[in-house]
Structure 1
Amino acid sequence: MSVRRIDVGPRMSQAVVHGNTVYLAGQVAADPKADVTGQTEQILAQIDRLLKEAGTDKTKILSTNIWLADMSTFAEMNKAWDAWVSKGNTPARATVESRLAAPDYKVEIACIAAIG
Structure 2
Amino acid sequence: MSSITRIDGGPRMSQAVVHGNTVYLAGQVALDAGGESVTAQTRNILDRIDALLAKAGTDKTKLLSASIWLADMADFAEMNAVWDGWVARDNTPARAAVESKLAAPQFTVEIAVIAAL
Query: TM-score normalized by structure 2?
Result: 0.97
Match of 1:52 in 2: 54
Amino acid aligned to 1:58:
K
Q: What residue identity is the alignment partner of 2:104?
A: A
For 1:56, the aligned partner's letter is: T
Give deviations 1:77-98, integer Å, cap 9, x for gaps: 0011011000110000000000
The DSSP-based 3-state class of the residue aligned with 2:89 is coil
The alignment-based identity, stated in percent, is 69
Task: Look up the match of 2:28.
Answer: 27
- Matching residue of 2:109: 107
SS at match of 2:35: coil
Shift of residue 33, structure 1, vs aligned partner: 1.9
Q: Give the whole-Å Cα distance in 2 for the aligned partners of 1:29 and 1:87.
A: 23
Whichever residue aligns with residue 7 of structure 2, its letter is I
Structure 1: how far apart are the matches of 2:100 and 2:61?
27
Residues in 2 aligned to 1:93 and 1:105: alpha-carbon distance in whole angstroms: 20
**Counterpart residue identity of residue 49, structure 1:** A
Give ranges in structure 1 of 5+ residues lacking alignment.
none
Alignment gaps of 5+ in structure 2: none
Q: Matches of 2:67 and 2:24 in 1, distance apart?
A: 12
Normalised to the residue count of structure 1, the TM-score between the two structures is: 0.98
Number of equivalent positions: 115
Equivalent position amino acid for 1:77 in 2: M
Partner of residue 87, structure 1: 89
